[in-house]
Structure 1
Amino acid sequence: MEMNHKYIVTGMSCNGCRTKVEKALNEVEGISAVVTLDPPVASITMEKHIPTEQLKKSLSLIGNYTIDDTNEAEINAFKKIKVEKKIVKPSSDNSNSKYYCPMHCEGDKLYDKAGDCPVCGMDLVPQVSINQKAEYTCPMHPEVIKNEAGDCPICGMDLVIKATNNDGESKTYSDLLRKMKIAIAFTTPIFIIAMTDMIPNNPLMKVMRHNEWNWLQFILSLPVVFYACWIFFVRAWKSIVSLNLNMFTLIGIGSGVAYLFSIIGLLFPSVFPHEFKNEMGVVHLYFEATTVILTLVLLGQLLEAKAHSQTSGAIKELLKLTPTETTILINGIGSKISISDVKKGDFLRIKPGEKVPVDGKIVTGESTIDESMITGEPIPVDKKVGDSVSSGTINGNKTFVMVAEKIGSETLLSQIIQMVNDASRSKAPIQKLADSVAKYFVPIVVSVAVITFFIWAKFGPDPALVYGFINAIAVLIIACPCALGLATPMSVMVGVGKGASSGVLIKNAEALENMNKINVLIIDKTGTITEGKPSVDKVFALKGADSDKLLQSIASVNQYSEHPLAQAVVNYAKEKNITLTPTEGFEAIAGKGVIGTLNDKKIAIGNIALMQQIKAIVSVDLENTVTAEQKLGKTVSFIAIDGEVAGYVAITDAIKATSKDAIKELMNQGIEVVMLTGDNENTAHAVAAELNLSAYKANCLPEDKLKEIKSLQAQGKIVAMAGDGINDAPALVQANIGIAMGTGTDVAIESAKITLVKGDLQGIVKAKKLSHAVMNNIKQNLFFAFIYNTVGIPIAAGVLYPVFGILLSPMLAALAMSFSSVSVIGNALRLRSIKL
């Protein structure tokens, strides 16, 4: 006989801990475990008694976690503590600015201050923050900023909501733009002076001598080198000192050597051999090459900063969905307040065309709600009293009053934004290739540049040293690893944002990549294939018993269960105005049903397995009657009182209109779709036949789903699992890709790698298309980056010169290097236009 126990788990601080603990427990033979973080409880079903010490040993192998026996009172105590904490400490909106490296050199690490990455040297990018605090400003005096509405202290005008923007991002771009203008202003005359040397009878020589023009170029170069582009040399120095060699190492060495050469050539021309001098004995200087190279690199940084703002466009669009203020009702009187001042339990009036400010339920009125920004579906949804509404959705043409249930970072919109933020900073497995190459890339390039100099100096035409010097600098400048580093993260960032705007939430980049590899999809029935909104078709009482009394008994027990079928029974009882009574000893038996004690009578509602467990005998006639109901696709639960079968309840749950088309499309893509359900064989067969499923299994307990997934994985299959209930959580964790229906439980969503906001199998089709598009985009970017360096470095070294007489100047190399990174980002941005 199976046993069910609950344990308190200590040491868990986040969902990652919860997942590790759950996975470790499920690896213990003979048990099936579901772990929750709030409260920190492990619900374990075991075939035979397993000592707590053995469970403790399993957890000690994965970290500082402990597990102990508990009881319902302790669990309730944990819940109470959690509630009290929520009351004392309101949720934070994470308003402080954070920054991250666009190349994710240190994974998903965030930095507190703006600056450059300590590893690759690139400008840190500000993370889009979830900040709902409204600020008010005067339209005439924008310097006036207040936290509440009122009038301007200067002119008396009404203050208006201040438009929100990402200050960190705009500051980075404006700083680069200012430096770019200065660099162009001083580089242009240097370039003109240098180019006039190519004109016969140089007219500038009539104004000043050649050496004096060189001094003017040096003076003009100072603002470019020591102000506008000085940051590149600082980053190069940091990279050398820390041994984190990167693109700025190459830029700093290349342009720095050219600039120092020019200064020494200007001040001490006699130290150079004649190969470096012209016919007048003046050393060839490279002030124009240095300043043009640095200016072009700065242009690349400016364009990247602009492009980065577009890659996070999906998050910004989501942020725009949240209004800054709303109307609160106090004693029936409405007044405007800031979103940040809304508290749980507040009543809010939502007028036609307004955005819903927080998550809650409608208490009076009805309307149609445009939820396309959350689910990706364009058709407005009808809402009435008791229906849930989400922040960011748009009200139709009617007014309603809602009660606030989730605020700040607890709202669905805030969680979506946070998930997109986190996923955008995660690394995909395919990026390991780029990381491995980048590790050795810079030392190899420096070596190639040195070899290039000596080969040209030894075998090149006169002036051989000049050719060697110029080509070595060109090799250093063109070989920028930036495009290689950006190839994966840019595509991931845009792809994750695209998914969020289409109702597909992706937890990390690994899930996005693996979704493209799946060849088996395991799906649950209730809430996944079906609507998950079951309704009672009939309550049948044996021996002429009162069906209403029977309904009262089973509804009273089911009121403590969160299963959709149990909720259907409760709703049915309420519709018939049947009063529910308190029940003792409630217990949910995974995959079988529920039991409880009512008026000293033991009530059991569940499948045939539960009846067998409590030794209640089901007659042949009743079994035949139930079988007939099941063949119609209904779910039937037997009802037993004190060990005797008293009747059954038949429940219908309509198949979602989109399930059949979604399953067909997935199967056409070569994915094997298997339904694993805890429902009986007859009901499962009826559903599988309607959907033309290739395979299904009925009467599955949570551990059966887990074992089936492990079995498929042992065969080398890449398995995705879609489910929506607590009993699906172990399977969701075990699967290569866990897909949770957004309409399901929090535990299922926490256990999954992908969440479908609408809870629709069409979302899996979207996720597959998105994954395929993102992986193709990443491969294109990596191919472009590898080919760029494979072709560019030899050309810069001069391999085409012996045959075609072609050399690549350092200035053209700098131009090519700058636009390589921008091209990678531009290709990634194409993902925003794909149709899912």
Structure 2
Amino acid sequence: MRVVKEKLRIIGVDCPACVYSINKELSRLKGIIKVDISAVDGTAIIEYDVDVVGLREIADAIRRAGYDVEKNHLTLTLPIDEEAIPQVEERISGLRGVFLCRASPVTKTAKISFNPYSISREELLSELRRLGLSYEEVSAEKIKTELEEKEERKQLWVLIAFALGLFAVVYHSVGMLYKHPPLWEYRGELLFAVATVVLALSRDTVTNGFKSLFKLTPTMESLIALSATSTYLISLVVLASRPGSQEVFFEASAGVLGFVGLGKYLEARIKSRALSLIKTFEESQVSQARLIINNEARQVSVSEVRPGDVIEVKAGEVIPLDGVVVKGWGYVDESMLTGESRPVYKSEERRDPVYAGSTLINGYIRVRVTRTGEDTVLSRIIEAVREAQYIKPRYQMLADRLVGRLTWGVIALSIGTFTYWLLAGETLFKSTIFMASVLAITCPCPLGIAIPLATSLGTYISIKKGLVMKRGDVFERILEVRRVYFDKTGTLTTGSPVLEDIVIKSNELSREELMMLVCSAERRSEHPLSRAVMSICESTGMITVEPERYDNLQGLGIVSVINSHQVVIGTERLIENMGIAVSDEDKEEIAELSGRGYTVSLVAVDNTYAGYLVFRDKIREDSRELIEYLRRKGLVTGILTGDRWEHARLISRELSVDEVHAELTPEEKADIIEEKARSNEKVMYIGDGINDAIAISKAHVGVAVSNASDIAKQAGDVVVTSASLLSIKELFELSKAVMNKAKTNLAWAFIYNLTLIPIAMGALYKPLGVMLMPEQAAIAMILSDISVVLNSTTLLKHLGRAHEKKESLT
């Protein structure tokens, strides 16, 4: 046991109730030995076994209680390779006082969150130097801006390289096979100029390829670089030693890099689309808050608010930052956080937590801010989505590994071919030609575009079908799914309650008279159940009157006076508190409905029980067909919801879902998914709210539906932009077609290469006098590219079955 004592400052603590909530969450962690928290300023001394629990887990537990810990952040550039990232993160996260280290292979940076009460910034930098890490401090915003600008420039250069490479190949092919184009007698010099420009525009590919080769870990870029530069250099030597010679093959070099550039461009377009969605989301967030200074509210930018500051929120406003209520009360719409359509009562007495993005429906609250900037859930999810754009499909990584091994074979074959023909008595030039042909024919350009082209076309088709892919490996991951979990509210259901029945229990009031009183009483309320009532009132043309008196009782219901009649609508508790008698038979009837998942509001007129209203969450019309399709595929279906068990069971019975889990927190949803993952069961999760964001991000495939919160959309691997859930059915069918096409592309590329390599080596030269020139080898390679492109375009037949796109992603 290694016991560590850590001093923290917990933000938002100002009462014993706060301390109790935090202690309750920390007590659930193993390894916690002692906790001492000051209710005055939030200072905490925590003793824990560092071998059992870490500082990050402690901070996460405090966050679950609705608070946060004060932390500082450090962003550094580190010269790290992708394979070294786990070791770097582990080494830095293991330092005392460090909450979390996240390193990025994309930006070559590490973001470190640390506790300023146990380690200073200077001490942390000293520890990094002791670990042997070289670094440079830089702002996160600068890194993000530079990365976006670099990506935009790279896309432009790659597209130009493809255009020039295509020109070189077409120019040479037309001249060789059909008719000499203009300047044909100077084709060597012309193609030299084109190839030189393409080589310069593709310097990243060439440089990275040779770097990997020199490290003895060649990748696909290594073979591309080797093939393109060898044909370029051999042609350059020929052109320099024999001016005017046309026995050059610069078009092979330009074509190789140009077609690989096409694959890179298509991949970049997918990434830039997803990243633009993230940028739009960031810009759409609440940017202003009213900061309380000397008991007066002042409008400020959200970026100016610090943890511990107090802000005010009025009815109808979106809460701009996470925090706890320190003054006032109100009903908060957290439907995108909990999945529960009914507003949640928040008050200062209980120091209830509130979250950015939720809406205060009525009331007035002051909130002590606990999380801002990079510490918010939104910022963490946005960063994770940014990194997700750079994940390669596993089939692409397999191709990279195969090409890495192939590279050594190609180098050996080319050297062996050169040596063989030289020893066989052929000239140096002819031996070099054989070697160049081997390098040209074995260029993995078809392998480079085989997977990106299929997935890019699949992505294009998916958009037309009402789906947006946000990972490069979504199509293959979907085919591995064996279990599909749904959120209930807003996913399988519409998310809004509907009035299903009105039961009259009074002999003195007709249905129309009771409905007139109910509609008049509900007209002032913004509660979802009231809106469901008013929807029926308006659709039936019910005439209503202005209440003479109206009282909204927190968490209970409303009391109103209509035409001198007292009308009470609300919970059974409200009716009982007002001394209104309800028979045992009626109570059993109401309890039976509640047990089946319905919501019941009781109605009393003039202190006499008059009946009740029955509400339910309406099931989406396409939910049943989708679940039937999934079950026919042999997939297990289930519901994970924060709603009550009664409501969840009602929906699961009607839709014939295999299993149901209810009354879950967002973390508990994620825990269920992770538990399945540990047993190697691949789960798809489909949801729509903030409460689903964690589960969506943890799932093997996370899907956010059309009405999803922005956070859920950013966390999802797939966003359903159409109004129909049946787009998910299309997703499974399209994924199967895309991956079949990717596999056939990959297989064809390998078979084509392996077949032509012996010919390029000169296997037919002695018996038949057939010699494959490097430019012919390049044309053969390009024909392989064309065959891959044509095979991939057959995916477009799926567009004929695409659903009409009815909504656009915002």
TM-score by length of 2: 0.54
Give the superposition deviation at 1:442: 4.7
What is the alpha-carbon distance in structure 2 between the residues aligned to residue 108 and residue 626 of structure 1?
62
CA distance in 1, matches of 2:485, 2:647: 18
1:495 aligns with one of 455, 458, 481: 458
Say whether 1:534 aligns with 2:505. no
Asked if 1 retains the 8 angstrom alpha-carbon contact of 2:641 and 2:664, the reply is: yes
For 2:767 and 2:582, how far apart are their aligned partners in 1?
Answer: 92
- Please state whether the residue corresponding to 1:808 is helix, strand or coil: coil
Q: CA deviation at 1:64?
A: 4.9
Secondary structure at 2:394 match in 1: coil
Partners of 1:456 and 1:705 in 2: CA distance: 67
Partner of 2:189: 223
**1:254 pairs with 224, 231, 234, which one?**
231
The answer to whether the 8 A contact 1:740-1:752 is kept is yes
1:826 is aligned, of 758, 767, 790, to: 790
Q: Structure 1 CA distance, aligned partners of 2:178 and 2:499?
A: 84
Distance 2:670 2:610 in 1: 33
Please give the secondary structure, in 1, of the residue aligned with 2:653. helix
Distance 2:195 2:64 in 1: 71
Partner residue, 2:411: 446
Of 389, 392, 395, the residue aligned with 1:427 is 392
Identity of aligned residues (%): 23
CA contact (8 A) 1:743 1:758 kept: no
Deviation at residue 811 of structure 1 after TM alignment: 3.3
1:221–1:675: structure 2 CA closer, same or farther, 3 Å change rule? closer
Cα pair 1:186 1:220 within 8 Å, conserved? no
Letter in 1 for 2:426: P
Q: Which residue of 1 aligns with 2:745?
A: 781
C-alpha RMSD of matched pairs (Å):
5.8
Q: CA deviation at 1:817?
A: 1.3
Deviation of the 1:229 alpha carbon: 3.5
Aligned to 1:110: 151
Equivalent of residue 508 in structure 1, options 460, 468, 471: 471
Select between 768-777 and 525-534 the one with higher mean Cα deviation.
Answer: 525-534
Q: CA deviation at 1:520?
A: 0.5
Aligned in 2, Cα 1:720/1:112: closer, same or farther, shift over 3 Å?
A: same
The answer to whether 1:474 aligns with 2:474 is: no
Distance 1:107 1:489 in 2: 21
- Residues 486 and 640 of structure 2 are in contact (CA less than 8 Å); yes or no, is this contact kept in structure 1? yes
Q: TM-score, normalised on structure 1? A: 0.52
- Contact map agreement 1:182 1:224 (CA 8 A) in 2: no
Counterpart CA distance in 2 for 1:180 and 1:550 is: 78
Task: Decide whether the 8 Å contact of 1:438 with 1:481 is kept in 2.
Answer: yes
Partner-residue secondary structure (3-state), 2:480: coil
Mapped to 1, the partners of 2:632 and 2:178 lie a distance apart of 64
The 5-angstrom pairing of residues 686-725 of structure 1 reads 686-725=650-689
- Give the count of matched residue pairs: 547
Q: Following superposition of structure 1 onto structure 2, how do residues 113-512 of structure 1 map, counting pairs within 5 Å?
A: 116=157, 124-125=158-159, 173=163, 220-232=186-198, 234=200, 243-244=210-211, 245-258=222-235, 260-261=237-238, 263-264=240-241, 266=242, 287-290=245-248, 293-295=249-251, 427-439=392-404, 442=407, 444-458=409-423, 460=424, 462-463=425-426, 465=428, 468-512=431-475
SS of 1:738's partner is strand
Q: How has the CA–CA distance of structure 1 residues 549 and 496 changed in structure 2, closer, same or farther, with 3 Å as cutoff?
A: same
Q: Please name the residue that 2:715 is paired with.
A: 751
CA separation in 2, counterparts of 1:677 and 1:449?
A: 61
Q: Distance in 2 between matches of 1:701 and 1:621?
A: 35
After superposition, give the CA deviation of every residue in 1:546-566 in whole Å (9 maximum; x if it has no partner): 98888888886754xxxx667
Q: Residue 294 of structure 1 aligns to which amino acid in structure 2?
A: F
Following superposition, the deviation at residue 706 of structure 1 comes to: 3.3
Per-residue CA deviations over 1:368-403 (Å, capped at 9, x if unaligned) read: xxxxxxxxxxxxxxxxxxxxxxxxxxxxxxxxxxxx
Do the aligned partners of 1:307 and 1:825 also contact (CA within 8 Å) in 2?
no
The CA distance in 2 between the partners of 1:484 and 1:312, in whole Å, is 17
Which amino acid letter does the alignment assign opposite residue 724 of structure 1?
Answer: D
Residue 665 of structure 1 aligns with an amino acid whose one-letter code is Y
| Alignment partner, residue 624 of structure 1 | 588
Range that drifts further, 743-752 or 492-501: 743-752
- Specify every segment of 5 or more residues in structure 1 that has no aligned partner in the other structure, as ranges: 1-5, 9-24, 31-42, 69-99, 101-105, 117-123, 126-168, 193-215, 268-284, 318-419, 587-593, 612-616
C-alpha distance in 1 between matches for 2:519 and 2:234: 87
Partner of 2:39: none
Contact 1:304 1:821 in 2 (8 A): no
What's the offset of the Cα at 1:781? 2.1
Deviation string, structure 1 residues 585-643 (Cα, Å, up to 9, x no partner): 98xxxxxxx679999xxx998999x99xxxxx999655532354358774447899xxx
CA offset at residue 748 of structure 1?
A: 3.0
Gaps of 5+ in 2: 1-9, 13-24, 31-58, 73-96, 103-110, 117-145, 212-221, 274-384, 561-567, 576-580, 803-810
CA shift for structure 1 position 509 = 1.7
Q: Structure 1 residues 513 and 237 mapped into 2: Cα distance closer, same or farther (>3 Å)?
A: closer
Which residue of structure 2 aligns with residue 201 of structure 1? none
Distance 2:599 2:172 in 1: 74
Supply the AA of the counterpart residue of 1:111.
E
